[in-house]
Amino acid sequence: MSNFRFHGFRQLTKLELQREKVRDYRNVVILQILIVGCGLLLSEPLLTDSKSNVSKFIVLIFSGFGAAYAFLLWDLMRNFTANRYLIVGIFGILSLIVLVGVLVEFPYYQLLEVPNRQVYLLTIHGLLFPIEITVIAFAIRDIFAQGYLTRDKLWGAVCVFLMIGISFGSLYDLLSTARPGSMGIAIEPGLPNYAECVTYSFCVLSGIDSGLQPIRFIRNLSVLEATWGTLYGMIIIGNLLGLPRQENIPKNENQLLS
């Protein structure tokens, strides 16, 4: 596990890094809950009339959520690696996604017009999905690292579970954008379709019938998602329960992580 943060590459003590991860995991989880909760509760106006004033305000809210989520993913990633190229690369890609996304999707004025909206959406999700998978992989490795049962592992477990649902929602949106109608319903591409895909993803994870009839490939992917989510829950519970509790701060708390 890396004991560096990107700002100045100052070495952190074990206790400092643990506190940093707790804060970063918690911030991501809070924003994930806001994104998923608002997406489930506020998607109806988008599906009914995406050009209404209410829908425009919802798009503005989710643009802010998206920008904040991109930054928090990058900030979380800095806890896992000291690879400057990876950190700078992810920051650059996420910054580009946020900038272009805000300019194209800004609901009140046409700040940037794209000639082919399908290619634009495919590019955005094609860049975002691998980054989400990368963060999930690093977070899982961090959670399953040997050590004590600490708060950062608990927050990390919740973060990864929610990230699985959001990332699969991005994948379903990518597929349904490439092949319109793949979800079994005609939905306007962009935020309306993305909201429906994330809803479908969390229905799969929670074992609730979404009411949609997607194409066979997406249905099979949803089976993999459900299986992965179930196995993850079982394995993470077993792993965390098997770790010793950190009742007291170790005497060598200032020892640097190797």
* Residue 257 falls inside a structural domain: no
Is 257's pLDDT higher than 50?
Answer: no
* Residue 86 falls inside a structural domain: yes
pLDDT-derived band of residue 223, with 50, 70 and 90 as boundaries? Answer: very high
pLDDT tens, residue by residue, 23-69: 999 999 999 999 999 888 888 888 888 888 998 999 999 999 999 99
Q: Are 13 and 5 in contact (CB under 8 A)?
A: no
- Residue 164's domain comprises 14-242
pLDDT-derived band of residue 219, with 50, 70 and 90 as boundaries? Answer: very high
Query: Reduced to 3 states, what is the DSSP secondary structure of residue 13?
Result: strand
Share of the chain above pLDDT 70, in %: 86
Residue in the block written with tokens 């993913």: 73
* Residue 8 falls inside a structural domain: no
pLDDT tens, residue by residue, 144-193: 876 667 788 888 889 999 999 999 999 999 999 999 989 988 888 888 89
* Residue 46 falls inside a structural domain: yes
Query: CB-based burial of residue 38 (10 Å sphere; 0-12 exposed, 13-18 middle, 19+ buried)?
Result: middle
- Give how many domains the chain has, as a whole number: 1
Q: 0.85 cut: is pTM over it?
A: no
Query: CB-based burial of residue 34 (10 Å sphere; 0-12 exposed, 13-18 middle, 19+ buried)?
Result: middle
* Residue 59 falls inside a structural domain: yes
For 110-125, give the DSSP string: -----S-HHHHHHHHH
* Residue 3 falls inside a structural domain: no
pLDDT-derived band of residue 132, with 50, 70 and 90 as boundaries? Answer: very high
**Distance from C-alpha of 168 to C-alpha of 155, rounded to nearest angstrom:** 20
Is 12's pLDDT higher than 70?
Answer: no
* Residue 250 falls inside a structural domain: no
* Residue 53 falls inside a structural domain: yes
Is 253's pLDDT higher than 50?
Answer: no
